[in-house]
Amino acid sequence: MSVSGKTAIITGSNSGIGLGVARELARAGANVVLNSFTDSKEDHALAAEIGREHGVEARYIRADMSRAEDCRALIDTAGGCDILVNNAGIQHVAPISEFPTEKWDAIIAINLSSAFHTTAAALPVMRERGWGRVVNIASAHGLTASPFKSAYVAAKHGIVGFTKTTALETAEEPITANAICPGYVLTPLVEAQIPDTMKEYDMSREDVIRDVMLKRQPSKEFATVEQLGGTTVFLCSDAAAQITGTTISVDGGWTAL
Ligand code: NAD
């Protein structure tokens, strides 16, 4: 069984890793549903471009992953779901004592609770269709911590745990659930952290990239969205049918340290 002809829903996919994953799934022949909380002409044009490029059905569906009802509506509106990639995520960097409550709540809602709501809606659909793959985009911060990222680290550790429970509840079915744990990938989310981190550590942009971000990434290279897309396609393949409830690190050796 290949991903060709399957329907893949990728949350938070009008940018960065989600977009890279959507492109690689489409390249492998999956019909893709792109998502974010916006509803612009560009969002729909992006889906149309991917559809044309790979000869697959590609749609964009607006849904705000901070809202439970939107998460569930995304799965319903898609009208089918064989592959669910929970990718939507945001970041905020601040010491715990200064961490704004609304940022904590938003990160937990978007980076963690959304995966519960989409998975809860998608599993019955996968069961009916007799096959399914859940791929959660966690982080090296799902396995290790950093200062000033309390909500993100809590949400990412949470999604690793949620992945394991999803795998156990589907273990005797042709459904798998795994988490990919990327190290640093140069996407808009990471770009946005650079100014705050420069301020926090009183460093230049170049020093933040080399000495803070890639300090813990022994390869000294950013991972790429294409590599994360390729890892997702692998997790959706037959070769990965017995891989479930685990994490795959794409982190240039970060978690080997
Ligand atoms: P990004 O900012 O480029 O993409 C985030 C995506 O989520 C965007 O499409 C954005 O529109 C969407 N999004 C944000 N809030 C949303 C909401 N309320 N509803 C729906 N969509 C929403 O960032 P990215 O780096 O591509 O991050 C994608 C995922 O990968 C996140 O879960 C992030 O934690 C994870 N990750 C990123 C890195 C990295 O270094 N970039 C490393 C590890 C894990």
Tell which one of 87, 103, 231 to mutate to probe ligand 1, the residue whose CB is within 8 A of the most ligand atoms: 87
pLDDT class of 1 with cuts at 50, 70, 90 = low
* Of 191 and 134, more confident: 134
At 149, the amino acid letter reads K
Q: Which of 60, 152, 184, 201 is catalytic?
A: 152
User: Looking at ligand 1, which residue's alpha carbon is closest to its atom 32?
Assistant: 89
* 212 secondary structure, DSSP code: I
- Using alpha carbons only, what angle is made at residue 165 by residues 160 and 168, rounded to the nearest 5 degrees? 130
Q: Is 184 part of the annotated catalytic residue set? A: no
User: Does residue 173 have a pLDDT over 90?
Assistant: yes
Phi and psi (nearest 5°) for 248? -120, 120
User: Does residue 190 have a pLDDT over 90?
Assistant: no
pLDDT 10s digits, 58-76: 999 999 999 999 999 999 9
Distance of alpha carbon 63 from alpha carbon 182, whole angstroms: 24
At 1, the amino acid letter reads M
User: Looking at ligand 1, which residue's alpha carbon is closest to its atom 41?
Assistant: 185
pLDDT given for residue 193 in this prediction: 83
How much distance in Å is there from the Cα of 16 to the middle of ligand 1? 7
Task: Spell out the CATH class of 7-183+223-249.
Answer: alpha beta
Average pLDDT over residues 87-97: 96
How much distance in Å is there from the Cα of 172 to the middle of ligand 1? 31
State the span(s) of the chain assigned CATH 3.40.50.720: 7-183+223-249
What does pLDDT average to over the chain? 97
Within 10 angstroms of residue 150's Cβ, the number of other Cβ atoms is 19
pLDDT given for residue 72 in this prediction: 98
pLDDT class of 39 with cuts at 50, 70, 90 = very high
pLDDT given for residue 188 in this prediction: 87
Tell which one of 14, 15, 103, 209 to mutate to probe ligand 1, the residue whose CB is within 8 A of the most ligand atoms: 15
How far is residue 247 from each of residues 40, 91, 125, 167, measured CA to CA in Å?
34, 21, 24, 11
Q: What sign for the dihedral angle of Cα 47, 50, 52, 55?
A: negative
pLDDT 10s digits, 125-148: 999 999 999 999 999 999 999 999
User: Does residue 223 have a pLDDT over 70?
Assistant: yes
Distance of alpha carbon 99 from alpha carbon 101, whole angstroms: 6
Could you tell me which of 63, 155, 68, 64 has the C-alpha nearest to residue 112? Answer: 155
pLDDT given for residue 26 in this prediction: 98
pLDDT given for residue 189 in this prediction: 79
Predicted structure pTM score = 0.96
User: Does residue 247 have a pLDDT over 90?
Assistant: yes
* Ligand 1 binding site (Cβ under 6 Å of any ligand atom): 12-18, 36-37, 64-66, 87-90, 110-111, 137, 139, 182, 184-185, 187-190
Distance of alpha carbon 176 from alpha carbon 172, whole angstroms: 10
